[in-house]
Amino acid sequence: MNSFKLLSAEFSKIAANKGILVSVIAALLVPVVYGGILLSATWGPYDNLDNLPVAVVNNDQGAISENEPINVGNELVANMKEGKNLGWEFVNSTDAMRGLQKNEYYMAIIIPEDFSQRVTTVMEPDPKKLELEYIQNEGMNFLASKVTETATQRIREQLADTITQNYTSKVFTSLEDVSDGFGKAADGSARLSDGTTQLHNGTEKLLNSVTSKQSDITKLANGTQELKDGTSLLLSKLEEKSGDINKLADGSRELHDGTVKLKDGTGQILVGLQKAETGSADLKNGVANNLAPGARGVADGTVRLKDGSAKLADGANRLLAGLKEFREANPSTTLPPYKDPYQQIIDGAQNLANGLNSLSTKSVALSKGAVKVSDGIDNKIVPGTAQLHDGLNQLVAGQKKVDSGAAQLEDGASRLANGNAQVENGWQELITGVSKLDSGAGRIAKGNAAVDEGWKKLSTGASKLEDGAGRVNDGSEELATGLKEGADKTSGLNTGEKNIGMFSSPVELASDTVNDYEYYRDSTAPYILTLGLFVGILIMSLFINFKRPAHVSSISWFTVKFMNLALLSLIQAALLLMTVFFILKLNVTNPLGLILFTIVVSIVFSAIVLFLASLGGNIGRFIALALVILQLSITGANLPIEMLPENLRTLSEYLPFTYSIAGFKSVITLGDFGAALANMSILLAYLVLFALLSLTVFLFMKKPKQHDVEAAM
């Protein structure tokens, strides 16, 4: 059984089953109904703006401008009532806030109390801009919030034009006063010209008087400068020798200090020598009276010590010998641990004999030394102390003379230091006086130089003054002529309402539109046609059995199902096109292009639905529905793709709705069939891709069991 017979059997089965037939017909009419409803309306989104409720609160208290009352808030409210651009509702602040909270208003416009007062500051140095507060309830509708925002911008532009017109009117009114002022200024400048002539004559006399005294002023300045040079030289020489004078004064002070110290030192030496003299007398008497006799007594004692120690040593030796003989004659019977008492006595006697022998030996040397000491004191120390005493007497006498001379030297050094200190002070006073003289001479020189320079400037200034007076005279004559001409020109200015309007709003926009929409529905047609075709095919897939019979090959079954959906999609495309052209009478720039593109889009969508439905059944159809929802906002239907975030722009490049909407837009509104062909080629690539995917699904589809085959028949 070939594919065409299978296709014929498919349609025969649909025709035989009235329920399926009615469902298929209803599905074919889905795009027609969908497009007919959504594309039939010829209204636009801005046709009924006066139905949008907007609260207006006028709190303007008014103001006084040039002794006349103004109330810009009332004028604005009056213009709103006449225009009816939106559904204005004029309420108080409380009602407006309550209405926003209850979602009764899309926006609230509040005119503040000082609205008119700020208008009066337009001519002031620090003008205050008008503030018009508006609060939007964007959550009620995003598009409506943009419409109301645009309305507030138009109100702002109207207010700006009104304020500019008032400002221009005041300027033009002021120009009339300026013209009168120019006339009066011309008369005054004529009188000014006469005065400047007299001024020029006076400055000429002043110049002659000043220049005649210039040479005398210069001589005075040069003389005072020479005086300044002389005082500077004198001051320099005095300061140059000031160091030597200071050194002389310092040296004399140091000399005086040294003599004072010398005098004090000689006095101390004299006292010390006198004490030494007294001590030497005591030393002499002590040596003669005490030391010499004592030394002789010591010498005699040492002789007697030598003889006595010899006798004691001899007795100790005899005692030791007797003890040894006694022990030998009387031996002891002492038991341990006690010592022999005779032996202890013998040991003690032995030690005593040894000590006395040593004393006897050393006393000989001591006796000799004591004799020599006694002889030295008698022969040398006693005469030496006498000589020392005599020398100190002579030294004290000489020191008294030195002390007297030191006192005289200190007195002379003191007088010298005082004299040099007076010289130093006088020298410093002389330097100070000469410094003041030099400073005064410098000031006089600078003053006279300044007088000379000032006199030269005075001469130059008098010359310039004379020249300027001449120019002022010439300028006053030109000013009089110019003011008269200005008065004539300003009196001829046009200050009518048209001129004021031109200055207040000098620019008008000349707008034009290409590829414009006749109705708002024309802008949504690409999206509606795309959505209708896809949804219609998706619904038709519900009534088509994709299970393959046992006696039919996979390729034949794929061909039958593809042709089945393609033919049904062509039928629904034809019905939709007839509705668009003959019933809705949609304005299309390229009708043939629309027909061709609709056929291609319908077949491509049938291939996509075939793949999803054959692959997953109802799950696949659900995926197709999710695919529709995904493409609603990111394929250029409501928002240009260029305005999407980067990740969504990238995603839109892989979605078929992007190219179907762009292609429909090209043939319906833009008249660009080349762009339609480009989008058509991409859609044909989708057709090939999903046809191959569907064929793959059919090739791997399992063969049904026998009872399934009979059910399918």
Alpha-carbon span 28 to 470, nearest angstrom: 103
What burial class does residue 691 get, using C-beta atoms within 10 Å of its C-beta: 0-12 exposed, 13-18 middle, 19+ buried?
buried
Q: Which domains does the chain have, with CATH numbers?
A: 3-44+519-712 (no CATH), 49-182 (3.40.1710), 218-489 (1.10.287)
Q: What phi and psi values does residue 550 have, to the nearest 5 degrees?
A: -70, -30
* Secondary structure (3-state) at 108: strand
Neighbours of 544 (CB within 10 A): 18
Alpha-carbon span 309 to 684, nearest angstrom: 158
Is residue 636 scored above 70 in pLDDT? yes
Phi-psi region of 509 (alpha: psi -120 to 50; beta: other; left: phi over 0): beta
Neighbours of 55 (CB within 10 A): 27
Alpha-carbon span 288 to 301, nearest angstrom: 20
Q: Mean pLDDT, to the nearest integer, of 315-323?
A: 84
Give the pLDDT of residue 706. Answer: 46
pLDDT tens profile 115-133: 888 888 877 788 888 888 8
Please choose, from the candidates 606, 591, 586, 655, the residue with its C-alpha nearest in 3D space to the C-alpha of residue 626: 655
Question: Which strands form 53-58's sheet, in the order they lie side by side?
Answer: 87-90, 53-58, 107-111, 133-136
The helix (H) or strand (E) run that includes residue 65 is strand 63-65
Alpha-carbon span 245 to 254, nearest angstrom: 14
Is residue 230 scored above 70 in pLDDT? yes
Neighbours of 658 (CB within 10 A): 22
> What percentage of the chain carries pLDDT values higher than 90?
19
pLDDT category of residue 615 using cuts at 50, 70 and 90: very high
Report residue 247 as tokens: 């050194």
Against a cut of 0.85, is the pTM above it? Answer: no
Rg (CA), the chain: 71
| Pairing status of strand 53-58 against strand 87-90 | parallel
Is residue 74 scored above 70 in pLDDT? yes
CA dist 632 → 133, 383, 524, 591, 648 (Å): 36, 148, 12, 25, 12
Q: Mean pLDDT, to the nearest integer, of 311-340?
A: 75
Alpha-carbon span 21 to 540, nearest angstrom: 11
Q: Where are the alpha helices (DSSP H) in 617-652?
A: 618-630, 646-652
Give the pLDDT of residue 710. Answer: 44
602, HSE (Cβ side, Cα atoms, 13 Å): 28
